[in-house]
Amino acid sequence: MAISEPCQNKRCAFLLTAFFVFVSQVPARTQEPQGVIRVGVNLVLLDATVKNKSGQIMADLKKEDFEVREDGAAQKLDVFSRDELPLEVALVLDLSDSIGPFLGPLRDAATTALAALKSDDEVALFTFSTEAQLRVPFTKDKTEIARQISSFHAGGATNINDGIFIASENLLKTPPKGRRVIILISDDVGTDAGGQGTRDIVTEAIAADAVLYNLKIPGYNPPQTLLYASMVPGLVNIRRVMDQTGGELFDVQDVAHLDPVFRALIQRIKTRYTLGYYTNASAALGKPHKLDVRLVSSFGKKGKDYVVLSKNGFYVH
């Protein structure tokens, strides 16, 4: 795989391999503070998306534009890349009653959007209604994913909890090949809380080193369905999962805008920066080491002039 100048050598390639092997061995459902990553070697890797104050992605940043602080101390970046590591994209598709009329447009949008991925990027398809399941294992054949979408029939409840969880669980069980993204495609009106709560879903996604994005599409939900959904206990807090993993919401207000919004989401995940540095952090205290990713002062103030979406800590053990 191609890595920019700081990582164009065998030593860095070995460390990247060591990192990916370690992540695949992280146990599921550990009771640890949320919003952290774990590393078993001294190379800390994290992904980041940067947006300006108008909400536009900042896609042309350089290594020297970034600052990473660990427990308040500045770190020297040894790894920097953008859309060079391969992607593993898990599509998690809502097949409940309310989504039926939108499957045709969604198939067409998926065909166009997924074509923008690189040839080495892989996509898997998961679906959920009353139950969640894997439909298509990870494949480089993006057209197969779109074909499968057109063959489905909608029906049943909306079990978003298990949809996100089984995608994370599947990723956790397989050795990582690159950066991992889960794309939830749903109207976000849950009617079944499934078997996992928000905390377990966040833990599983973080353990799998996956970022959750939400492509929220219009659904047909009569008032009685919305009322019922508002009273179901234990429904996943999608916003919380996105915030903890560093993802975002892409809201499709009108089905006519589905194609450009889906394509914008794919472009967003392609423009995440991968940053890495060697740490001297100790596991002695058993506490998470805090991470703060920001731009150099010439770009202004973080949170005011720009926003960085990234995980915020890691464990050494």
**Could you report how far apart the first and last alpha carbons of the chain are, in Å?**
28
* Domain-embedded: residue 303: yes
Tens of pLDDT, residue by residue over 57-75, are 898 899 999 999 999 999 9
Q: Any idea what the CATH number is for the domain that residue 265 is in?
A: 3.40.50.410
How high is the pLDDT of residue 92?
A: 97
* Domain-embedded: residue 13: no
Rounded Cα gap, residues 8 and 305, in angstroms:
33
Q: Which residues contact 9 (CB under 8 A, 6 or more apart)?
A: none
| Average pLDDT value for residue range 225-251 | 92
Q: Any idea what the CATH number is for the domain that residue 69 is in?
A: 2.60.40
| Average pLDDT value for residue range 179-188 | 94
Within this chain, do residues 261 and 294 fall inside the same structural domain, yes or no? no
Contact of 50 with 303, CB cutoff 8 Å: no
Within this chain, do residues 79 and 165 fall inside the same structural domain, yes or no? no
How high is the pLDDT of residue 208?
A: 83
Within this chain, do residues 167 and 95 fall inside the same structural domain, yes or no? yes
Task: Match 């590591």 to its residue by tokens.
Answer: 85
Can you give the length of the chain in residues?
Answer: 317
Buried residues in 22-43 as b, exposed as e (16+ CB within 10 A): bbbebeeeeeeebbbbbbebeb
* Domain-embedded: residue 1: no
Domain that holds residue 302: 35-83+272-316
- Confidence category of residue 15, pLDDT binned at 50, 70, 90: very low
Rounded Cα gap, residues 12 and 230, in angstroms:
50
* Domain-embedded: residue 305: yes
* Domain-embedded: residue 63: yes
Q: Sign of the CA dihedral 122, 153, 210, 310?
A: positive
Within this chain, do residues 54 and 160 fall inside the same structural domain, yes or no? no
Pairing between β-strand 273-278 and β-strand 306-309 as defined by DSSP bridges: unpaired
* Domain-embedded: residue 23: no
- Confidence category of residue 219, pLDDT binned at 50, 70, 90: confident
Buried residues in 133-155 as b, exposed as e (16+ CB within 10 A): eebbebeeebeebbebbeebebe
Tens of pLDDT, residue by residue over 257-306, are 999 999 999 988 988 898 989 988 776 555 667 889 999 999 999 999 99
Within this chain, do residues 122 and 225 fall inside the same structural domain, yes or no? yes
How high is the pLDDT of residue 9?
A: 42
Within this chain, do residues 128 and 265 fall inside the same structural domain, yes or no? yes
Within this chain, do residues 113 and 257 fall inside the same structural domain, yes or no? yes
**Residue 25 pLDDT exceeds 70:** no
How high is the pLDDT of residue 233?
A: 95
| pTM for the whole structure | 0.80
* Domain-embedded: residue 20: no
Return the number of other C-beta atoms located less than 10 Å from residue 258's C-beta.
23
How high is the pLDDT of residue 16?
A: 46
Tens of pLDDT, residue by residue over 146-162, are 888 888 989 999 999 99
Within this chain, do residues 281 and 260 fall inside the same structural domain, yes or no? no
**Can you list the positions of beta strands (E) in 112-192?**
122-128, 132-139, 179-186
Buried residues in 274-309 as b, exposed as e (16+ CB within 10 A): bbbbebebeeeeeebbebbbbbeeebeebeeebebb
Within this chain, do residues 186 and 244 fall inside the same structural domain, yes or no? yes
* Domain-embedded: residue 4: no
Q: What stretch of H or E contains 204?
A: helix 198-207
How high is the pLDDT of residue 307?
A: 94
- Confidence category of residue 201, pLDDT binned at 50, 70, 90: very high
Rounded Cα gap, residues 2 and 50, in angstroms:
22
Rounded Cα gap, residues 236 and 110, in angstroms:
25
Within this chain, do residues 293 and 258 fall inside the same structural domain, yes or no? no
| Average pLDDT value for residue range 89-100 | 93
How high is the pLDDT of residue 203?
A: 83
How large a percentage of the chain has pLDDT more than 90?
53
Number of domains within the chain: 2
How high is the pLDDT of residue 7?
A: 42
Task: Please provide the average confidence, as pLDDT, over all residues in the chain.
Answer: 84
Pairing between β-strand 122-128 and β-strand 87-94 as defined by DSSP bridges: parallel
Within this chain, do residues 250 and 141 fall inside the same structural domain, yes or no? yes
Within this chain, do residues 182 and 244 fall inside the same structural domain, yes or no? yes
